[in-house]
């Protein structure tokens, strides 16, 4: 229960701060539109902080890696400053504590902000020191499977257990077939044989950008940081948002990164995978929202809308076979 988790967080904060009382301590859940595998909270006891928790093994390992690299990421790549780490007693949850940033996520990237972020991301992709700390390298094909296909498989299996009422067996099968087709294409393509040597954020969509009132900006959620394909970051950065769930155009990406023939081949796959991700992922969040009573109805309504828009976009741009409604 959320109330029990908040009580446990309060105990952990008091112990960590060596506080003798909690009359001024408030803990409020923060809605994470990216899903429910993480839990986030605002902590206010005269100073505001942000706590991000996970109990998923893969995400927890990512948060631990972020913890190891926190100073470097804050200094070079606009990551928020990590203040501490909390293990929540009596629960499987643990995670980093950050300074609270009063800011907003942009609905779209204006040209100025896009240029500033792009310059930082290019530096990230060329950071040999960071790459050495993230190795060893695997193939670009493995990077695709980790970034997209593994998530597709997990989400579709989860959706199949308790599908939303508007998802028919034929629609579920169609999504599974589209995901399998993309994975097979990657495995056949020599364009994905090269080693992945670049540090990649791996979750660089607009909701992981925060801009404060003074115009300072931050890149959030570095728990997916790994060696990968830089195209993953570019396609996410200029791709779907909750307000406009449509994959980026080829021209937009090529304006920001030069591509050879192999890069162009991979780009076509990533653009399609990005759009499919925005068909599948909102459904997984719709199902998961059943366990989140404080935001469940709001999340379900919003994710059904995003799913419908994303599926229409996918069928229009990438699929010659209409799905069965």
pLDDT tens digits for range 256-308:
999 999 999 999 999 999 999 999 999 999 998 876 666 678 889 999 999 99
Domain 111-317 fold is Aminoglycoside 3'-phosphotransferase; Chain: A, domain 2 (3.90.1200)
Give the Cα separation of 9 and 234 in Å (integer): 36
- 2-99 matches 111-317 in fold: no
Q: Are strands 38-44 and 226-228 parallel, antiparallel or unpaired?
A: unpaired
Mean local confidence (pLDDT), 53-68 = 92
Give the Cα separation of 290 and 297 in Å (integer): 8
- The DSSP output letter for 207 is G
With 0-12 / 13-18 / 19 or more C-beta atoms within 10 angstroms meaning exposed / middle / buried, residue 93 is buried
pTM of the complete model: 0.92
* Long-range pairs, 292-296, Cβ under 8 A, ≥24: 292/36, 293/2, 294/2, 294/29, 295/29, 295/31
What is the pLDDT at residue 88? 94
- The ranges assigned to domains in the chain are 2-99, 111-317
Give the Cα separation of 165 and 162 in Å (integer): 9
Written as one string, the DSSP assignment of 160-194 is HHS--TT--HHHHHHHHHHHHHHHHHHHH-GGG-S
Query: Quick check: 103 and 213 in contact, CB under 8 A?
Result: yes
Look up the CATH number of domain 2-99: 3.30.200
């Amino acid at each position: 229960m959320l109330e029990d988790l908040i009580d446990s967080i309060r105990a952990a904060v008091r112990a960590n701060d060596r506080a003798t009382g909690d009359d001024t301590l408030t803990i409020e859940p923060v809605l994470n539109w990216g899903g429910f595998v993480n839990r986030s909270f605002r902590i206010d006891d005269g100073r505001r902080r942000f706590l991000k928790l996970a109990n998923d093994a893969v995400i927890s390992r990512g948060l631990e890696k972020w913890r190891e690299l926190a100073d470097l990421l804050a200094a070079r790549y606009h990551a928020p400053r990590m203040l501490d780490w909390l293990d929540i007693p009596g629960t499987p949850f643990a995670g980093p504590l950050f300074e609270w940033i009063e800011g907003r996520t942009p609905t779209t990237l204006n040209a100025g902000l896009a240029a500033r972020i792009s310059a930082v991301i290019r530096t990230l992709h060329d950071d040999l020191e960071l790459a050495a700390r993230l190795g060893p390298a695997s193939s670009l094909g493995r990077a695709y499977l980790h970034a997209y296909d593994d998530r597709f498989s997990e989400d579709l299996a989860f959706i199949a257990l308790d599908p939303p009422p508007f998802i028919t067996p034929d629609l579920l099968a169609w999504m599974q077939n589209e995901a399998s087709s993309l994975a097979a294409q990657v495995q056949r393509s020599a364009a994905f044989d090269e080693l992945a040597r670049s540090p990649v954020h791996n979750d660089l969509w607009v909701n992981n950008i925060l801009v404060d009132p003074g115009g300072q900006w931050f890149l959030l959620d570095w728990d997916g940081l790994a060696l990968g394909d830089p195209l993953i970051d570019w396609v996410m950065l200029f791709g779907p948002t909750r307000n406009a769930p449509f994959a980026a155009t080829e021209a937009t990406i090529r304006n920001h990164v030069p591509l050879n023939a192999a890069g162009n081949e991979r780009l076509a796959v990533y653009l399609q995978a990005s759009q499919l991700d925005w068909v599948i992922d909102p459904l997984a969040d719709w199902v998961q929202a059943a366990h989140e009573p404080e935001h469940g109805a709001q999340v379900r309504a919003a994710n059904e809308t995003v799913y419908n828009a994303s599926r229409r976009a996918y069928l229009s741009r990438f699929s010659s076979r209409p799905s069965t409604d």
